[in-house]
Chains A and B, each alone.
Chain A
Amino acid sequence: MLIKLPSASGCKESDVTPESFYLSRRALLGSSLAGLAVGALPEWASAAAPSRYADVEPGAAPAWFAEKLPKTKWQAVNVKDEAITPFKDATHYNNFYEFGTDKGDPAQNAGSLKTEPWSVVIDGEVGKPGRYALEDFMKPYALEERIYRLRCVEAWSMVIPWIGFPISELLKQVEPTANARYIRFETLQDPKSMPGQRSGFALIDWPYVEGLRLDEAMNPLAILAVGMYGRELPNQNGAPLRLVVPWKYGFKSVKSIVRISLVSEQPKTTWQSIAANEYGFYANVNPTVDHPRWTQAHERRLPSGLFSPNIRQTEMFNGYGEEVASLYTGLDLRKNY
């Protein structure tokens, strides 16, 4: 599991870098991406400089976050030659059905979510179960910035600079027992602050549940995120704690987590329960397996203009095949979609 992170999907300095630029990856990125940047990209001032993004609305970071942020390892994983999605789009075009089914609903309604105090329950097949206040839960972890592609099952995609830590670090802390084979995540259920959960016509059986196989969760790319764009997570993006698994469709990356359980059986996940023929447990990004209602071969990279549509080919495992394909050897991905 000790896969070195910056691989094909990340920035390979050596294959394109002129010798003279080689020492400074940041400078290189800055220059090669400058054309794409249009102000949405971080300043690449010096190697230690934190990433900055244009037009980021400042939040009110909790104390534990503000304290950890300066020690963040910036751009620990990056994307190659791809523009980062503007902050406004990443925060105003969301699927977070707890706050409504329209893409704009979460930004409009998530203000009611109270993220402080927040606690996370760890239970199931673990040596150290318990309920932790988020600030205590976060204590052992150093933050890293991970710039990942995000591919939604609805055939649109973004590039988001997350801030978080690998789930493998969490698993070290909670000591899974020999029976633990899956990890299950649960979103907050609070109809008072979540209007979508008050709807009498909702087909979702709240709370929202997602899960991973334990070896998937151990993959270094799988992270729990607490921030994005150099700040804490906005509520509509799943504050204060969410999952990010970049090689899977976005709905796997469960938001506003209140419970993490290690379990022996494959968890019953929300979308699989609603429509198993459309949304599988694995939900790996796969251009060769169509959604029953649309093709997954292409995606609209947002923002995608009306008369200059930004349509691109979808890559197997969202371009993270080198890191994750080995998890699925021998598995028929047409059946286990």
Chain B
Amino acid sequence: MRYPFWRVGVFLAACVAPVLWLYQAWLFALGPDPGKVLVDRLGLGTLILLLITLAMTPLHRMSGWAGWVAVRRQLGLWCFAYVVMHMSAYAVFILGLDWTQLGVELVKRPYIIVGSLAFLCLLALAVTSNRFSQRRLGKGWKKLHRLIYVVLGLGLLHMLWIVRADLKEWSLYAAIGALFLALRIPVIARRLPRFNARKTVNATKV
């Protein structure tokens, strides 16, 4: 396996945050409503991990360092892990495991519906993230994994519905997301500055 330390480092960085939050929440260090804070942080964590995942390909193209794409799948799976934790925290701390209420929420609340759709997309991506699926789906795999752009749109919409008074934070994430999408438009992608032209040839094969 290439870049073992880099991969393990990314792994540790991604799992430190939720463990720390859970510990803080348990100690009431997150305030009197720790469940809500946890749900919000895990949701935002999902979005940030999604953006980081989307940054790997452009970073790779620009730097030519293959380490970026080496952790791309791991980051995508972390994004999925965070969304699972986000939804579990919501079910336990907000809904109090009231499943009939969950049914009501799923039918009545547009932002929950949008969030759930994004989750289903991420689920499909996570399930097909292994090499076996890659081989089996062939060209279809790449097409399927373009769903990540849909997830980004749904996730941002989900968040937009929740922020009510100040769009500053949301605008920041939306702008970063838009930038990463723009970098994938062929005209722009071709013009990206390359800081290490030699290695980029290998990169496009991945």
Contacts and interface: CB of A to CB of B under 8 A. Distances in A.
Interface of A: 85-86, 89, 92-93, 97, 101, 103-104, 156, 196, 199-204, 274-275, 278, 290, 292-295, 298, 300, 302-307, 309, 311
Contacts, number: 79
B160 to A, nearest CB: 11
A298 B171 CA distance: 32
A304 B31 CA distance: 9
Given A93-B31, A274-B164, A300-B36, 18 more contacts: A93-B32, A101-B163, A201-B167, A201-B171, A203-B165, A203-B166, A204-B165, A204-B166, A274-B165, A293-B111, A295-B104, A295-B105, A300-B33, A302-B32, A303-B33, A305-B28, A307-B26, A309-B96
Interface in B1-57: 22, 25-26, 28, 31-36, 38
A275 B164 CA distance: 9
A101 B28 contact: no
A292 B109 contact: yes
B196 interface: no
Interface in B97-156: 101, 104-105, 108-109, 111
Contact of B25 (A89, A93, A306): A306
Contacts of A304: 32-35
B168 interface: yes
Contacts of A199: 166, 168
Contacts of A303: 28, 32-33
Contact of A202 (B28, B109, B165): B165
Contacts of A302: 32-33
By Cβ-Cβ distance, the 6 closest A-B pairs, closest first, are A303-B32, A201-B168, A302-B32, A89-B32, A201-B167, A306-B25
Contact of A93 (B33, B105, B163): B33
Interface majority SS on B: helix, strand, loop or mixed?
Answer: helix
Contacts of A86: 32
A114 to B, nearest CB: 23
Contact of A97 (B22, B96, B104, B166): B166
A53 to B, nearest CB: 15
Interface in B146-201: 161-168, 171
A207 to B, nearest CB: 14
B93 to A, nearest CB: 6
Contacts of B35: 300, 304, 306, 309
A311 B109 contact: no
23 contacts: A92-B31, A92-B32, A97-B165, A101-B163, A101-B165, A103-B31, A156-B33, A196-B166, A199-B166, A199-B168, A203-B166, A274-B164, A293-B111, A293-B162, A294-B105, A302-B33, A303-B28, A303-B32, A304-B34, A304-B35, A306-B22, A306-B38, A309-B96
A203 B164 contact: yes
Contacts of B161: 293
B101 A295 contact: yes
Nearest to B24: A306
A93 B35 CA distance: 14
Nearest to B31: A93
B146 to A, nearest CB: 30
A55 to B, nearest CB: 13
B31 A104 contact: yes
Nearest to A90: B32
Contacts of B26: 306-307
Nearest to B161: A293
Nearest to B109: A293
Contacts of B36: 156, 300
A42 to B, nearest CB: 20
A38 B20 CA distance: 28
A278 B111 CA distance: 14
A170 B164 CA distance: 33
A57 to B, nearest CB: 16
A306 B164 CA distance: 26
Nearest to A279: B164
A330 B155 CA distance: 43
B154 to A, nearest CB: 16
A203 B32 contact: no
Given A290-B108, A292-B109, A294-B109, A202 B166 contact: yes
Contacts of B28: 303, 305
Contacts of B171: 201
Nearest to B167: A201
A305 B165 contact: no
